[in-house]
Structure formats: structure tokens, C-alpha cells
Amino acid sequence: MKVLIVEDERKTGQYLQQGLTEAGYTVDLSPDGVEGLHLALTESYDLMLLDVMLPGMDGWQVLETLRRNGRDMPILLLTAKDQVEDRVRGLDLGADDYLIKPFAFSELLARVRTLLRRGRTEPEPTTLRVADLELDRLGHRATRGGERIDLTAKEFALLELFMRRQGEVLPRSLIASQVWDMNFDSDTNVVEVAVRRLRRKVDEPFERRLIRTVRGMGYVMEDEPEA
Amino acid sequence: MKLALSLTARLTLLFVLVSSSVLIGLGWLLNAAVERHFIEMDRGLLEGKVEVLERLLASPPQAGEIQALDDAVIDMFRSDPELKIFVQTVGGSLILAPPDLPFPEQAIDRQRVDQADMIFSWRNGGSRYRGLATTMQTALPDLAPLLVVVAINIDHHERFMARYGRTLSVFIPVAAFLSGLLGWWAARRGLSPLHLLQERAASVTASQLDRRLPEESVPRELKGLARELNRMLIRLEEAFRRLSNFSSDLAHEMRTPVSNLLTQTQVALSRSRTEGEYQETLASNAEELDRLSRMIADMLFLARAENGLSLPSIEEIRLHDEIADLLEFYDALADEAGVRLQASGRAVVRGNRLMLRRALSNLLSNAIRHAGQGGQGGQGCEGGEAGEVRIDLAEESAVVSLIVENSGDPIPPEVIPMIFDRFYRAESDRPRHEGATGGLGLGLAITQAIVHAHGGHVSVTSGRAGASFRVTLPSGKSGGNGVRESDAPKNLANRP
């Protein structure tokens, strides 16, 4: 998966490059709009991270030119300006998503994965599996090692989210937004409590722990022994 | 361009205008009265003469002799040389006329004279005459009826009126000028309290916002103005105080986490450490930074709210549904804190869903935190049931009210006015351990900003125990008054 980052702030660009490279992507970094546009038009990328405020040629122009030239890879706009007009303009010009600085890297990563997944239209399986944990989405049943686990509706939704996105670190805000539809900075204690309760049912009675806390970032479900 | 005259000049001009129009009116009135008086005087005189003449004509000295009549008349009025007498027959021939004055044929309206006596005036040469015309029967059969005109010269009246006019034309401008002068002086005197106000107002500066205008020493008409200006100053002072407190609070709130981050990072770098230790440091930094970043987002939201929030999109919102969702969200947290959540009532408003959700979420989060604490405080509660939060919705006469009540410690009365201030936190709310997701002290301020943007109001009361937050919003059924949909919407969520 090839990702192009167009970002003039050197430090931000480097950290994004490092973070995405370590997440398993091939990353090119361009510090200005003209060069970024050239790269995007000549090379082939699966995703583009585009800063709006750029020297030479701003993000709007880059975005417009790309779309006019038929480049349809997902584009995620990054900006420090938190204005609805900007967001509307970006989406009108053909951007796929929009992130406001400062953002958490885990949030960015989650969005990048969502955008890359969007392109593929493989049907999601009705049964999700992580180690010996199984989730039957149609039957609304969760079992671990064959043992039935009783979950409330929201606990089920939370577990489904974790399993669908296993291996990804999910920030608390993303969890609040996906499970409870709380699309703003809400009391993150709520997510902590909900995850703790889910663990009590899914993890604690068993030897192997699947839900892991990544301090300062969020939670991840994975079938790997902790480092 | 509109001319901005000074108040003194305006008042002076008005004085001049008023006094000259009063004087001119008065002069005209007197003029008319004098004129009428002269006419009456002349009429009396002329009528007396006509009477004498009538008697003479009724019994003429020698019938048929016009010359004899002439002589008799001259004889009779010899003592009165100014008197002019004309006698005309029906046929139109003058049988009697003064030698020095032509008959005023033009001035006489014969039809009127047939009905009644007619008084009139006319001009001849340089002189003006007033005459009384009448018809008379006479004993001379072939001459009857006779038209008789008796007239006198009225030049002396004319001279009097001209003199009077001249006097007025000098007196009125002088009087107007004098009253203008007086008016100017009076206006200056009368307006002097304004200068006092101006001086005081000029002495109010940002560093001396506590200065007030003198309400007692200004005239009654200016008291209202002074009082309103003083109220404005009080509001300004309050807003200014909040703003400067806010800036210093902001600096303080940012300084603590930033200095923690700096120290922690520098200590970590001071010698080489194990991987676990580095991870610990970075994770702790990430938590602190997350807090800072949320604070910045909230601050931006509030800063924008200061300029009046406009709502990006407005729809009909069933508050009871929103509350049900929020209760589901907070269910686990409340359960852990030993707080029971209850909701009742239904209401519909118009507004922005995301924002209203955020406002209610902050209220609920606050209520749960305090209900839980009250229980732990061990004040009159036993067993596992530590506290409760009750939400009541009601809709009455186009106003929706939402009450969030929590058990727990009461809010001290001195704290209530500050509770919606930014960065205000109850002592018990101060984060006990750094980095925890304790309140930022912005939640209630955000709630207030959102409720205001929806044309509503939020208040808090606290009695012997617990606290009750009351939000009122215009009902959705009334067509959503007070909620303005913006044409240039602003983003309100921190995250899309």
C-alpha cells in the first residue's frame, strides 16, 4: 500500500512518515504542493494525506487538479483550521475525509485504514474470529472456547468493533463515536468503564488476554502475546 | 451630508425661531385689531353725517330745486370741510359732488348698497378715502331713490399704520437677536452637566473601569442616561474581568501540563534508560498531550461561541430520544460509580443534534460525577446505593424545560455564580492524579454556550443536598424561534 504525504511542516511530515511506515505502508513525503501534485500525477498511490496550507500551491488547488485529471485515490485533508466552510469545501472538491490538527496519530491511522478498506468491496464475514473468541453477527452470539458469553447490546457492538478491526489501535474517541454515536469529545471515562466491563466477561475468565491497553493511544484487540 | 450642529447652536436657533414667530404673529394680530378699530371709528362718524343728510333730503328746502339742495348741504357741513358728499340720481347723474374728488364709481357695488349700507375705501391721487354708501328716499319725486356717498380722507390712519409697521420691523429682529443671545446663554448653562459627564467618562480606562458617572449631581433628565451608562460600565467591567481572568487561567492551565511534559522528557533524556522506562515516559506524555489538545479544541469552541455560535444545521430533535441514548452511554459509568440514572418526560425542540447532545452530555457527566462523590462523602447514605441522577423533561407554553438533578454534596452559594465560568472546577473536581481524564472545567461553559445559541437559558440551584441544573429551550412546536440557522455555518464538533 503506497501513501503520499504532502505536508510542509517538516516535523509533522517526518513523524507521519515514520508512523505510517511502521504501520506497514510505503510512504512518500513531499514538502510542497507543486511537487506533491507532480508525484501524485506521475506515480500511483493508494491514499494521499494532503495539508491544506501549503507553499506554492495550496491543498485546495492540488485536490482540484487531481480530481480534474481523473485521479480517484482516497484523499484525507489535514488542516489547522476548524471551520465547517473549509470542511464543506474540501468534501465538495472531492476529498474523502478531513482531520483537524492537533489530531491523535491513532485517530489518523484509524481513518487511513477505513479509507483504504472502503475501496475494497469484499463482504464482511458473518462470523468474526480472534484466537478462540468467536462472534456470530447474525445470531448475536459471542463464544470463547465454546463457552457462551452474555453481552449487553452495547457490549456486543463494542466487541464487534474490536474484532472487525483487530490489530488496530482504536482511540477512545473513535470507540465512543462508533459504538454510542457520540461524535464529540465526551467523557472518555465512559469508554474505559465499558472496556473494563467487556474485559471482565471476555478476557478475565480466560488465560489469554485479547484486549490490550496501549497507553496514551487507546485499545487494541490482538491474538499476540504482549511484548 | 448631515450637518451636526452643536446642541447649544440648535437650542439658540430654536429660541430665535420661536421668539420671532411669536412676535410676528402678535404684530399681525395687533395690526388687524387697529385696522378694525379705525374702520369702526370711521363708520360711526360717517353714519352720523348720513343721518343728518337723510333728514335734510326728507324735507328739501324747495321742491325740485337741485341747486337749493346743494347750497343747503354745503351750508350744513361748512364746519366740516374734510367731508366729501356725493349724491347721484337713479339715472346716473350726479346732483351733488365735491369739486376736488371724482365719484368712486368703481369701488361701489350697487347691488350691495341696495340691500344695506356699504363701507368701503379707495385711493385717489396720493390720498386714501373711506366712504359709506347708502340709498335714500327723498321728497323730490323724480329723483328718488338717491345714491348717497359720504366719505372722509383717512391718510392719518395710513400714516399711523406705516409708523407702526416700521416700529415692528425694527423691534422684531432686535428682540429675536436678544432672545437668541439669552437662549445661547441658557443652553450653555443648562448643558453644563453634560460637560461634567464627558469629563468623567473620559477618565474611564481599561485600568480604571471602576470609575462611575455621578448619578446624584446631574439633573433629572440626565440621571437615566448616567444610570444606563453606569450599568454599561458595570457589564463591561464584569466582562473585562472575566476575560482577563480567563487569559490568566488559560496560561495557568497550560503551564502546568507543559512544564510537566518538559520536566518528564528532560529527566528521561538525562541518562540512558530501559525500553520500558522510555515507553512509560512517552505514554505519560501522550496522555498529557491528549488532555492539552482536547483543552485547545474546547477553548477554540468557546472562543467562537463568544462571538455568537451559529448552528450549522437545524432539525427537529426529540429530546427524550437523545437522553435515552445518553443514558445508555453513561449507564456503565454510573453503575460503577453507584449512581442510579432515571429519566422522565418528553419534549421536542429544534436545534443542532450534535451540539445539543454535547450540551446534555456535559450536564450528565457533571451530575454523575457529583452524585457519586456525595455518596462517597458518606453523608446520610447507606449501602451500595450511593446517589442518583434524575432527568425531567417538560413542555409548557412553548418552552421546554429540562432538569438534571443529582444527589450529592450541595453547591456552596458563593460558588453558584461561577459555575458556568470557564476553568471553574469544584475543589473536589480538581484532578487527583495528573493525567487522569478529570474534568477540564470547560464542560458547563460549553453547555451554556450551546444552550444560548439555541435561544435557551441554563441555571443552577442547590439546596441542602444535591444540585439541580435547569435548561429551558424554545419548544420545537413554536416554529423554532430564537434558533438561527447560519448561512456560514461554523464547525462545532471536535471530531467529524
Shared-domain flag, residues B90 and B121: yes
Shared-domain flag, residues B321 and B469: yes
* Chain B interface with A: residues with Cβ < 8 Å: 279-280, 282-287, 289-290, 293-294, 296-298, 300, 312, 325, 328-333, 335-336, 354, 357-358, 361, 365, 437, 488-496
Q: Which residues of B touch A98 (CB under 8 A)?
A: 496
Q: Following DSSP, what letter does each residue of B155-182 receive, concatenated?
A: HHHHHHHHHHHHHHHHHHHHHHHHHHHH
Name the residue among B432, B275, B294 with its Cα closest to residue B369.
B432
State the CATH number of the domain containing residue B435.
3.30.565.10
Could you say which of B139, B163, B187 is where a domain stops?
Answer: B163
Q: What is the CA radius of gyration of chain A?
A: 20
State the CATH number of the domain containing residue B39.
3.30.450
Q: Which residues of B touch A104 (CB under 8 A)?
A: 290, 293
Shared-domain flag, residues B300 and B322: no
CB contact under 8 A, B325 and A104: no
Interface test with B, best of A91, A174, A179, A187 (most B CBs within 10 A): A187
Which residues, in sequence order, are bridge partners of residue B389?
B341, B406
Indicate the DSSP class of residue B408. Answer: S
Which residue is closest to B275 within chain A, CA to CA? A227
Shared-domain flag, residues B277 and B330: no
Q: Following DSSP, what letter does each residue of B467-484 receive, concatenated?
A: EEEEEEEEBGGGT-TT--
Shared-domain flag, residues B442 and B330: yes
Which residue is closest to A158 within chain B, CA to CA? B329
Predicted confidence pLDDT, tens digits, chain B (496 residues): 456 778 888 888 888 898 889 989 998 999 899 999 999 998 898 888 888 877 777 766 555 556 666 677 777 776 676 788 888 877 777 777 777 788 887 778 777 777 788 888 888 888 888 888 888 877 666 666 778 888 888 888 889 989 988 988 898 889 888 888 888 898 888 888 888 888 888 887 777 777 777 777 778 888 888 888 888 888 888 878 877 777 777 787 788 788 888 888 988 888 888 999 998 888 888 888 888 888 888 887 887 777 666 677 788 999 999 999 899 889 888 888 888 899 999 999 998 888 899 899 999 988 888 887 654 444 444 444 568 899 999 988 888 999 998 888 888 888 888 788 777 766 555 544 333 334 667 888 889 988 988 889 999 888 777 888 999 999 876 544 445 444 333 443 433 3
What CATH number should be reported for the domain whose range is A127-221? 1.10.10.10
Domain A2-119 sits in which CATH superfamily? Response regulator (3.40.50.2300)
Asked if residue B1 is part of any domain, the answer here is no
- Enter the pTM of the model: 0.60
Shared-domain flag, residues B315 and B413: yes
Shared-domain flag, residues B35 and B58: yes
Closest partner residue to A189 (CB to CB) among B283, B298, B437 is B437
Contact A194, A154 (CB under 8 A): yes
Could you say which of B135, B163, B191 is where a domain stops?
Answer: B163
The burial of A133, by beta-carbon neighbours within 10 Å (0-12 exposed, 13-18 middle, 19 or more buried), is given as buried
CB contact under 8 A, B329 and A185: no
Asked if residue B410 is part of any domain, the answer here is yes
CB contact under 8 A, B488 and A176: no
CB contact under 8 A, B333 and A184: no
Asked if residue B454 is part of any domain, the answer here is yes
Closest partner residue to B361 (CB to CB) among A173, A186, A192 is A186
Closest partner residue to B329 (CB to CB) among A103, A190, A215 is A190
- The residue count for chain A: 227
Cell of B127: 390720498
Containing domain of residue B357, as a range?
Answer: 309-478
So where are chain A's domains?
2-119, 127-221
Contact A201, A149 (CB under 8 A): yes
Backbone angles phi, psi at B148, to 5 degrees: -115, 130
Question: B60 preceded by cis ω (within 30°)?
Answer: no
Could you say which of B282, B307, B332 is where a domain stops?
Answer: B307
Shared-domain flag, residues B76 and B112: yes
Q: Which residues of A touch B286 (CB under 8 A)?
A: 215-217
Shared-domain flag, residues B270 and B326: no
Shared-domain flag, residues B279 and B352: no
CB contact under 8 A, B495 and A107: yes
Number of folded domains that form chain B: 3
Cell of B181: 443671545
